[in-house]
Structure 1
Amino acid sequence: MTYATDRLHEEIAYVAYHFHWGLADILDLEHADRRRYAGEIAALVTRAGAED
């Protein structure tokens, strides 16, 4: 199975934007780890928005 290039770019941009990590560091992550970080960031953003 291949992972959609557009989705991969979205994950990279999301993690880079919120964690300020470089491209090489993000690409070094296993797919499951990168997805987990993206999910955790989304939860934090959602929670912060609910508190406003």
Structure 2
Amino acid sequence: MWTFDEPLPNEAVSVKGLSDGLKDFMDELARNYLELQKVNRAMEEAWCVSLKTVDRP
């Protein structure tokens, strides 16, 4: 069992793996955010068009 006074097993590899995993996660998060911005913009444009075409009393 590991204790705090011992080095972590394969510490450099573990940290590198965590770093790569975090970078991949952040890249995916950024891509998803940009995609959501595109969808939001399209929905706003569709909403504006629908407001212009609705017959008002």
TM-score (norm 1): 0.44
Question: Which structure's relative contact order is higher, taking Cα pairs within 8 Å and 6+ residues apart?
Answer: 1
Report which of the two structures shows the higher radius of gyration computed on alpha carbons: 2
